[in-house]
Amino acid sequence: MRLSLLALSFFASTVAAESITVYKSPTCGCCTEWIKIMESKGHDVKVEHPFNLQESKSQLGIPKQLASCHTAVIGDYLFEGHIPEQDILSFLADPPVGAKGLAVPGMPQMSPGMASPGQRYSGFRVIGFNADNQYWLANQY
């Protein structure tokens, strides 16, 4: 029984692991904290420091209303800011038709990478967006 649970756990973590490219500024500490969280969940994170971060966000297609400090790219999808890992996995498991990605705009105090370890996430929204700059509420903390 214990062996099968271990096997299940290993299988689940293997299935969930994603290859992530994160675009950030070298001066951003909270970006690094968010990356550490994603790596601790088993994801493979590659970090890029573009010369002009704001231009990079624009070229990737992040709406200015949704901007935060870092932009993560997984496959064809964009994930802007301090999004909880669980929301990213839920999105990737069943992406809404036409969706381009998710965002947590700005720097909410109690979001992953901003909150202290163990603190409950609260006080922010996870926003879904598409290429037509249409937005919807994906989750709320």
The distance of closest approach from Cβ of residue 38 to other proteins in the complex, given in angstroms and rounded to an integer, is: 19
Q: Residue 24 gets which letter from DSSP?
A: -
Query: What distance lies between CA 31 and its chain's CA centroid?
Result: 10
- The smaller minimum CB distance to other proteins, of residues 18 and 99, is found at 99
- Other CB atoms within 10 Å distance of the CB of residue 69: 22
- The smaller minimum CB distance to other proteins, of residues 18 and 126, is found at 126
What type of residue is 33? E
Provide the residue count of the chain.
Answer: 141
Residues lying near other proteins in the complex (CB under 8 A)? 24-30, 50, 52-54, 63-69, 105-109, 114, 127, 133, 135-137
Q: What sign has the CA pseudo-torsion 33, 108, 16, 75?
A: negative
- The smaller minimum CB distance to other proteins, of residues 18 and 115, is found at 115
The distance of closest approach from Cβ of residue 64 to other proteins in the complex, given in angstroms and rounded to an integer, is: 6
The distance of closest approach from Cβ of residue 12 to other proteins in the complex, given in angstroms and rounded to an integer, is: 32
